Structure 1
Amino acid sequence: MSQAEQPAETTPAPLTDNVKSCVALLMVTDMERSLAFYVDGLGFKITNRWLPDGHLRWCWMQLGTAALMLQQAMPPTLEKMTANGKLDNGMSLYFQCEDALAIYRRAKDRGVAGREPQVGNFNWEVSLHDPDGYSIHFCSPTDLPEETLLSEIEK
Protein backbone atom coordinates (compact mmCIF):
# COMPACT_ATOMS: atom_id res chain seq x y z
CA MET A 1 0.00 0.00 0.00
CA SER A 2 1.45 3.36 -0.98
CA GLN A 3 1.52 6.26 1.44
CA ALA A 4 -1.27 7.94 -0.55
CA GLU A 5 -3.49 4.90 0.00
CA GLN A 6 -2.85 4.65 3.74
CA PRO A 7 -5.36 6.34 6.03
CA ALA A 8 -4.12 9.55 7.54
CA GLU A 9 -3.13 9.19 11.16
CA THR A 10 -5.18 11.32 13.45
CA THR A 11 -4.35 12.30 16.94
CA PRO A 12 -7.36 11.75 19.17
CA ALA A 13 -8.50 14.72 21.21
CA PRO A 14 -7.46 14.51 24.85
CA LEU A 15 -10.24 13.05 26.98
CA THR A 16 -10.31 16.19 29.08
CA ASP A 17 -11.45 18.11 26.01
CA ASN A 18 -14.00 15.47 25.05
CA VAL A 19 -15.99 14.72 28.22
CA LYS A 20 -18.26 17.61 29.16
CA SER A 21 -20.47 16.40 32.02
CA CYS A 22 -21.95 13.47 33.89
CA VAL A 23 -25.70 13.33 34.36
CA ALA A 24 -27.42 10.92 36.74
CA LEU A 25 -30.48 8.95 35.67
CA LEU A 26 -32.84 8.10 38.51
CA MET A 27 -35.41 5.36 38.00
CA VAL A 28 -38.60 6.49 39.75
CA THR A 29 -41.69 4.63 40.87
CA ASP A 30 -44.15 7.47 40.23
CA MET A 31 -43.17 10.14 37.70
CA GLU A 32 -45.87 12.62 38.78
CA ARG A 33 -44.82 12.42 42.43
CA SER A 34 -41.16 12.86 41.46
CA LEU A 35 -41.95 15.86 39.26
CA ALA A 36 -43.85 17.44 42.15
CA PHE A 37 -40.67 17.11 44.25
CA TYR A 38 -38.06 18.17 41.67
CA VAL A 39 -39.99 20.69 39.54
CA ASP A 40 -42.58 22.13 41.92
CA GLY A 41 -40.53 21.74 45.11
CA LEU A 42 -36.94 22.39 44.06
CA GLY A 43 -37.41 24.45 40.90
CA PHE A 44 -35.91 22.15 38.24
CA LYS A 45 -37.03 22.90 34.66
CA ILE A 46 -37.80 20.09 32.21
CA THR A 47 -35.75 20.69 29.06
CA ASN A 48 -36.39 17.43 27.20
CA ARG A 49 -38.96 14.66 27.52
CA TRP A 50 -40.08 11.35 26.06
CA LEU A 51 -43.86 10.88 25.85
CA PRO A 52 -44.76 7.52 24.28
CA ASP A 53 -48.55 7.12 24.14
CA GLY A 54 -48.91 10.59 25.66
CA HIS A 55 -47.39 9.54 29.02
CA LEU A 56 -44.19 11.09 30.35
CA ARG A 57 -41.73 8.21 30.73
CA TRP A 58 -38.38 10.07 30.76
CA CYS A 59 -37.23 13.65 31.18
CA TRP A 60 -34.06 15.73 31.34
CA MET A 61 -34.25 18.51 33.91
CA GLN A 62 -31.96 21.39 34.76
CA LEU A 63 -31.44 23.63 37.73
CA GLY A 64 -28.87 26.26 36.81
CA THR A 65 -26.17 24.35 34.94
CA ALA A 66 -26.79 21.07 36.79
CA ALA A 67 -28.81 18.37 35.06
CA LEU A 68 -30.69 15.27 36.15
CA MET A 69 -32.72 12.66 34.30
CA LEU A 70 -35.78 10.81 35.60
CA GLN A 71 -37.23 7.67 34.06
CA GLN A 72 -40.44 5.92 35.03
CA ALA A 73 -39.59 2.37 36.09
CA MET A 74 -41.61 -0.14 34.10
CA PRO A 75 -42.95 -3.35 35.74
CA PRO A 76 -39.84 -5.60 35.47
CA THR A 77 -37.52 -2.83 36.73
CA LEU A 78 -40.04 -1.68 39.32
CA GLU A 79 -40.22 -5.21 40.75
CA LYS A 80 -36.42 -5.32 41.09
CA MET A 81 -36.35 -1.84 42.69
CA THR A 82 -38.96 -2.71 45.31
CA ALA A 83 -37.87 -6.31 46.01
CA ASN A 84 -35.75 -5.48 49.05
CA GLY A 85 -38.07 -2.75 50.34
CA LYS A 86 -35.45 -0.01 49.91
CA LEU A 87 -35.72 2.10 46.79
CA ASP A 88 -32.69 4.40 46.89
CA ASN A 89 -30.07 1.70 46.18
CA GLY A 90 -27.52 3.76 48.14
CA MET A 91 -27.61 6.63 45.65
CA SER A 92 -26.66 10.13 46.80
CA LEU A 93 -26.44 13.19 44.56
CA TYR A 94 -24.47 16.30 45.51
CA PHE A 95 -25.13 19.60 43.76
CA GLN A 96 -22.49 22.30 44.29
CA CYS A 97 -24.20 25.70 44.58
CA GLU A 98 -23.43 29.33 45.13
CA ASP A 99 -26.01 29.43 47.95
CA ALA A 100 -27.36 26.10 49.21
CA LEU A 101 -29.34 27.88 51.92
CA ALA A 102 -31.40 29.66 49.24
CA ILE A 103 -32.32 26.22 47.85
CA TYR A 104 -33.27 25.09 51.38
CA ARG A 105 -35.46 28.12 52.01
CA ARG A 106 -37.20 27.84 48.63
CA ALA A 107 -37.84 24.12 49.07
CA LYS A 108 -39.15 24.69 52.61
CA ASP A 109 -41.48 27.46 51.37
CA ARG A 110 -42.82 25.00 48.78
CA GLY A 111 -43.48 22.28 51.34
CA VAL A 112 -40.38 20.13 50.78
CA ALA A 113 -39.07 19.00 54.14
CA GLY A 114 -35.46 18.24 54.88
CA ARG A 115 -33.21 18.15 57.90
CA GLU A 116 -31.80 21.40 59.22
CA PRO A 117 -28.80 22.55 57.16
CA GLN A 118 -25.43 22.23 58.80
CA VAL A 119 -21.78 22.82 57.95
CA GLY A 120 -19.71 19.84 56.92
CA ASN A 121 -16.39 19.73 55.06
CA PHE A 122 -16.34 23.54 54.72
CA ASN A 123 -19.77 23.57 53.05
CA TRP A 124 -23.33 24.30 54.04
CA GLU A 125 -25.12 21.04 53.35
CA VAL A 126 -28.82 20.89 52.62
CA SER A 127 -29.98 17.26 52.71
CA LEU A 128 -33.29 16.02 51.32
CA HIS A 129 -34.81 12.70 50.29
CA ASP A 130 -36.90 12.47 47.15
CA PRO A 131 -40.10 10.37 46.99
CA ASP A 132 -38.09 7.25 46.06
CA GLY A 133 -35.62 7.71 48.91
CA TYR A 134 -32.69 9.07 46.88
CA SER A 135 -30.44 11.34 48.96
CA ILE A 136 -30.25 14.79 47.40
CA HIS A 137 -27.71 17.28 48.75
CA PHE A 138 -27.09 20.93 47.89
CA CYS A 139 -23.76 22.33 49.10
CA SER A 140 -22.12 25.76 49.12
CA PRO A 141 -18.79 26.89 50.58
CA THR A 142 -18.58 28.53 53.98
CA ASP A 143 -15.87 29.36 56.48
CA LEU A 144 -18.08 28.64 59.50
CA PRO A 145 -16.98 25.91 61.93
CA GLU A 146 -17.87 22.29 61.22
CA GLU A 147 -21.29 21.11 62.44
CA THR A 148 -22.68 24.66 62.74
CA LEU A 149 -26.47 24.45 62.39
CA LEU A 150 -28.48 27.05 60.48
CA SER A 151 -30.55 27.78 63.62
CA GLU A 152 -27.35 28.76 65.46
CA ILE A 153 -26.66 31.64 63.08
CA GLU A 154 -30.27 32.76 62.57
CA LYS A 155 -30.97 33.50 66.24
Structure 2
Amino acid sequence: MPDESMASANVRQAVPFFSVINMETSLRFYVDGLGFIMKRWWIPDSHQDGDKPNGKIRWCWLELGEAAIMLQEYIPERKPKEPLGSGINICFQCEDALALYREFKSRGLQTRNRPFVGNRLWVVPVIDPDGYRMEFSSPTDAPEESELEESLSH
Protein backbone atom coordinates (compact mmCIF):
# COMPACT_ATOMS: atom_id res chain seq x y z
CA MET A 1 0.00 0.00 0.00
CA PRO A 2 1.45 3.43 -0.94
CA ASP A 3 2.62 5.78 1.78
CA GLU A 4 -0.14 8.34 2.50
CA SER A 5 2.24 11.33 2.44
CA MET A 6 3.58 10.21 -0.93
CA ALA A 7 0.05 9.93 -2.36
CA SER A 8 -1.01 13.33 -1.03
CA ALA A 9 2.15 14.97 -2.37
CA ASN A 10 1.35 13.53 -5.78
CA VAL A 11 -2.14 15.12 -5.97
CA ARG A 12 -1.82 18.74 -7.05
CA GLN A 13 -5.19 20.12 -8.01
CA ALA A 14 -8.86 19.21 -8.50
CA VAL A 15 -10.11 20.63 -11.80
CA PRO A 16 -13.80 20.62 -12.73
CA PHE A 17 -14.38 19.14 -16.20
CA PHE A 18 -17.58 20.42 -17.84
CA SER A 19 -19.07 18.83 -20.94
CA VAL A 20 -20.66 21.61 -22.98
CA ILE A 21 -23.15 21.79 -25.84
CA ASN A 22 -21.52 24.68 -27.73
CA MET A 23 -17.84 25.52 -27.17
CA GLU A 24 -18.06 28.97 -28.79
CA THR A 25 -20.91 30.00 -26.48
CA SER A 26 -19.07 28.61 -23.45
CA LEU A 27 -15.83 30.40 -24.35
CA ARG A 28 -17.70 33.71 -24.68
CA PHE A 29 -19.09 33.15 -21.18
CA TYR A 30 -15.88 32.00 -19.48
CA VAL A 31 -13.25 34.04 -21.36
CA ASP A 32 -15.13 37.20 -22.35
CA GLY A 33 -17.57 37.27 -19.41
CA LEU A 34 -15.65 35.87 -16.44
CA GLY A 35 -12.10 36.64 -17.56
CA PHE A 36 -10.67 33.10 -17.69
CA ILE A 37 -7.57 32.65 -19.86
CA MET A 38 -7.27 29.69 -22.24
CA LYS A 39 -3.97 27.95 -21.48
CA ARG A 40 -4.37 24.69 -23.44
CA TRP A 41 -6.69 23.44 -26.15
CA TRP A 42 -7.30 20.60 -28.56
CA ILE A 43 -8.59 20.86 -32.13
CA PRO A 44 -9.36 17.49 -33.76
CA ASP A 45 -7.34 16.95 -36.92
CA SER A 46 -8.58 13.47 -37.84
CA HIS A 47 -11.52 11.16 -37.30
CA GLN A 48 -10.97 10.15 -33.68
CA ASP A 49 -13.86 8.60 -31.77
CA GLY A 50 -16.43 10.19 -34.03
CA ASP A 51 -14.77 13.61 -34.22
CA LYS A 52 -15.03 15.40 -37.51
CA PRO A 53 -12.13 17.78 -38.15
CA ASN A 54 -13.64 21.24 -38.53
CA GLY A 55 -10.87 23.45 -37.17
CA LYS A 56 -12.82 24.25 -33.99
CA ILE A 57 -11.67 23.85 -30.40
CA ARG A 58 -13.19 20.74 -28.90
CA TRP A 59 -11.42 20.72 -25.48
CA CYS A 60 -9.70 23.44 -23.47
CA TRP A 61 -8.10 24.23 -20.12
CA LEU A 62 -9.01 27.64 -18.70
CA GLU A 63 -7.46 29.47 -15.74
CA LEU A 64 -8.52 32.39 -13.57
CA GLY A 65 -5.90 33.21 -10.97
CA GLU A 66 -4.90 29.87 -9.43
CA ALA A 67 -8.20 28.15 -10.35
CA ALA A 68 -8.75 26.07 -13.47
CA ILE A 69 -11.58 24.36 -15.32
CA MET A 70 -11.72 22.15 -18.40
CA LEU A 71 -14.40 22.28 -21.08
CA GLN A 72 -15.14 19.69 -23.74
CA GLU A 73 -17.81 19.97 -26.40
CA TYR A 74 -20.10 17.01 -26.89
CA ILE A 75 -19.98 15.16 -30.18
CA PRO A 76 -23.46 15.92 -31.62
CA GLU A 77 -24.57 12.26 -31.58
CA ARG A 78 -23.58 11.93 -27.91
CA LYS A 79 -25.37 14.94 -26.44
CA PRO A 80 -27.37 13.87 -23.39
CA LYS A 81 -31.13 14.25 -23.30
CA GLU A 82 -31.20 15.31 -19.63
CA PRO A 83 -30.25 18.86 -18.55
CA LEU A 84 -26.59 19.53 -17.81
CA GLY A 85 -25.31 20.98 -14.55
CA SER A 86 -28.01 19.51 -12.34
CA GLY A 87 -26.79 19.20 -8.76
CA ILE A 88 -23.35 20.67 -9.48
CA ASN A 89 -22.04 23.80 -7.77
CA ILE A 90 -18.37 24.80 -8.04
CA CYS A 91 -17.16 27.27 -5.39
CA PHE A 92 -14.17 29.52 -6.10
CA GLN A 93 -12.63 31.02 -2.96
CA CYS A 94 -11.44 34.56 -3.70
CA GLU A 95 -9.76 37.52 -2.05
CA ASP A 96 -12.62 39.85 -3.03
CA ALA A 97 -15.71 38.31 -4.62
CA LEU A 98 -17.44 41.71 -4.92
CA ALA A 99 -14.55 43.07 -7.00
CA LEU A 100 -15.02 40.09 -9.33
CA TYR A 101 -18.77 40.80 -9.48
CA ARG A 102 -18.03 44.37 -10.59
CA GLU A 103 -15.54 43.11 -13.17
CA PHE A 104 -18.05 40.56 -14.51
CA LYS A 105 -20.64 43.34 -14.89
CA SER A 106 -18.11 45.61 -16.64
CA ARG A 107 -17.52 42.75 -19.13
CA GLY A 108 -21.26 42.66 -19.86
CA LEU A 109 -22.03 39.47 -17.94
CA GLN A 110 -25.59 39.41 -16.60
CA THR A 111 -26.12 37.55 -13.33
CA ARG A 112 -29.52 36.24 -12.24
CA ASN A 113 -29.01 37.04 -8.56
CA ARG A 114 -27.24 39.79 -6.69
CA PRO A 115 -24.33 38.89 -4.43
CA PHE A 116 -25.43 37.84 -0.94
CA VAL A 117 -23.87 36.80 2.37
CA GLY A 118 -24.05 33.11 3.29
CA ASN A 119 -21.88 31.25 5.81
CA ARG A 120 -19.91 34.45 6.54
CA LEU A 121 -18.97 34.75 2.86
CA TRP A 122 -19.94 37.18 0.13
CA VAL A 123 -21.30 34.89 -2.57
CA VAL A 124 -21.46 35.88 -6.25
CA PRO A 125 -23.59 33.23 -7.98
CA VAL A 126 -23.32 32.65 -11.74
CA ILE A 127 -24.75 30.01 -14.07
CA ASP A 128 -23.00 29.09 -17.31
CA PRO A 129 -24.81 28.54 -20.64
CA ASP A 130 -25.11 24.79 -19.93
CA GLY A 131 -26.58 25.22 -16.44
CA TYR A 132 -23.43 24.63 -14.38
CA ARG A 133 -23.64 26.69 -11.19
CA MET A 134 -20.61 28.51 -9.80
CA GLU A 135 -20.08 30.73 -6.78
CA PHE A 136 -17.23 33.17 -6.29
CA SER A 137 -16.89 33.72 -2.52
CA SER A 138 -14.81 35.75 -0.07
CA PRO A 139 -14.92 36.16 3.73
CA THR A 140 -16.95 38.99 5.26
CA ASP A 141 -18.24 40.31 8.56
CA ALA A 142 -21.47 41.57 6.93
CA PRO A 143 -24.69 40.19 8.44
CA GLU A 144 -25.90 36.81 7.20
CA GLU A 145 -28.37 36.98 4.26
CA SER A 146 -27.34 40.57 3.38
CA GLU A 147 -27.60 41.40 -0.33
CA LEU A 148 -25.40 43.81 -2.22
CA GLU A 149 -27.24 47.05 -2.86
CA GLU A 150 -27.13 47.86 -6.58
CA SER A 151 -26.00 51.42 -5.85
CA LEU A 152 -22.84 49.92 -4.31
CA SER A 153 -22.14 47.77 -7.37
CA HIS A 154 -21.26 50.66 -9.70
Question: What band does the TM-score fall into relative to the shorter chain?
Answer: 0.7 to 0.9
For residues 39 and 86 of structure 2, the distance between their equivalents in structure 1, rounded to whole angstroms, comes to 26
Q: Deviations over 1:26-67 (max 9, x none)?
A: 000000000000000000000000011321000000000000
* Mapped pair 1:28 → 2:29: no
For residues 11 and 102 of structure 1, the distance between their equivalents in structure 2, rounded to whole angstroms, comes to 42
Q: 1:11 to 1:123 in 2, by over 3 A?
A: closer
RMSD (Å), alpha carbons = 2.0
Percent of aligned pairs with the same amino acid = 47
Which residue is equivalent to 1:150? 148
Q: 1:34 corresponds to which letter in structure 2?
A: S
* Mapped pair 1:109 → 2:136: no
* Mapped pair 1:77 → 2:81: no
- TM-score after normalising by structure 1: 0.84
| Structure 2, unpaired ranges of 5+ | 45-52
Q: 2:126 corresponds to which letter in structure 1?
A: L
Q: 1:14 to 1:72 in 2, by over 3 A?
A: same
- TM-score after normalising by structure 2: 0.85
For residues 5 and 74 of structure 2, the distance between their equivalents in structure 1, rounded to whole angstroms, comes to 37
Matches within 5 A, 1:45-56: 45-52=37-44, 53=53, 54-56=55-57
Q: SS in structure 1 opposite 2:13?
A: coil
Post-superposition offset of 1:110:
1.6
Post-superposition offset of 1:11:
5.9
Q: SS in structure 2 opposite 1:90?
A: coil
Asked which structure has the greater CA Rg, the reply is: 1
Match of 1:132 among 119, 130, 133: 130
Post-superposition offset of 1:152:
8.0
Match of 2:8 among 2, 5, 16: 16
Which moved further from structure 2: 104-113 or 63-72? 104-113
For residues 40 and 19 of structure 1, the distance between their equivalents in structure 2, rounded to whole angstroms, comes to 30
For residues 43 and 131 of structure 1, the distance between their equivalents in structure 2, rounded to whole angstroms, comes to 15
Which residue is equivalent to 2:58? 57
For residues 37 and 152 of structure 1, the distance between their equivalents in structure 2, rounded to whole angstroms, comes to 22
Q: 1:112 corresponds to which letter in structure 2?
A: L
| Structure 1, unpaired ranges of 5+ | 1-9
Post-superposition offset of 1:16:
2.1
For residues 11 and 131 of structure 1, the distance between their equivalents in structure 2, rounded to whole angstroms, comes to 42
Post-superposition offset of 1:75:
2.3
